[in-house]
Structure 1
Amino acid sequence: MSRTALLFLLVALVASFPAPAMSAGDVTQLRYANFPPASTFPCVQMERWKVEVENRTEGRIAVQTFPGGTLLGAKDMFRGVQMGQTDIGCVGLAYQPGVFPVSSAVELP
């Protein structure tokens, strides 16, 4: 069997497996955690962003917000995103010593 025929057969075989696809009715749910109080500017903007995303995606993406540290506190935010506790998190560099060494230079006295 020639290499071209073998390659074609391999591509045809892989293409024949059903690929998971999102149907028109599927909604992607995102969790967005923030640590400042709900009435502060960062959390007000978070709520505006949520509305904008949901409108622009025509409801295909839904965002659940957690202001005021209700899901994760400031010190746990980065690790919480890494571990999948939340999809989006507002990280304060001052609460993550050693994690972002280059960016932490702006935190020096």
Structure 2
Amino acid sequence: MTISEFLLIWVVISAEIATCRVLPALILRGRPLSYRITEALGYIPPAAFAALIANDLYSTQASAMGLWANVMPLIASMAVLLVAKKTRSMIWCCIAGVASYIVLGLI
């Protein structure tokens, strides 16, 4: 692939990405959204975060390293869930997750 072909592909893809992201914002600018749409859009951040977490909890690379490598993130996530239920604080959840993962890594 030559540089000119690469640049052509890059420009076309960049234009489409910009169109897909910017065009809806320009069309909906200044208009109030319905309650159902606002509620549906509110589910996007938790769903994206859950997908990231699930990807870390169920890693195929960890299964090649043995059973403990699969169980350790699950135990650390249980500690985070307990801290989240008790404190409802993101910083304490992060601290609990990192601390429990370090402690479990030392075992």
- Assess same fold via TM > 0.5: no
State the TM-score, normalized to the length of structure 1.
Answer: 0.25
TM-score with structure 2 setting the length: 0.25
Higher strand content, 1 or 2: 1
Q: Which has the higher helix share?
A: 2
- The higher relative CO (CA closer than 8 Å, separation ≥ 6) is in 1
